[in-house]
Amino acid sequence: MKDFKRTDDLDLEIKNGDFVIAESDQQHVEDIFIAQKGEFKEYPQVGFGAINYIKTNTTSYQFERDLKIQLDYDNYSNVEIDISDGIENTKITI
């Protein structure tokens, strides 16, 4: 998929006075990962709400399952999710 490209600050990227169009799959996955249910008005069931999983007793299996369900709503099926725990940070690769 292609869409408007965003900067790291989540602003629309503009080059030579025009919007930049680029591959957007990663942006869409990030949007779903961060968004709460109901934030996408046209699709109110879409939204993983990653912030809700912080400091909960959710297992990695439940976390991955819930995330895969949300990504499947946007036609991202057969997604591989890698959760690696570090000493200070947990890294999630989708």
End-to-end CA distance of the chain: give it in Å, rounded: 17
Token readout for 77 is 């099926």
| 12-50 confidence digits (pLDDT tens) | 999 999 999 999 988 999 999 999 999 999 999 999 999
Token readout for 1 is 């998929």
Give mean pLDDT, residues 54-58. Answer: 86
| pLDDT number for residue 59 | 86
Domain count, the chain: 1
Q: Could you list the residue range(s) of the whole structural domain that residue 50 is in?
A: 2-93
User: How far lies 85's CA from each of 38, 56, 90, in Å?
Assistant: 30, 15, 4
- CA–CA separation, 21 and 19 (whole Å): 6
3-state secondary structure of 22: strand
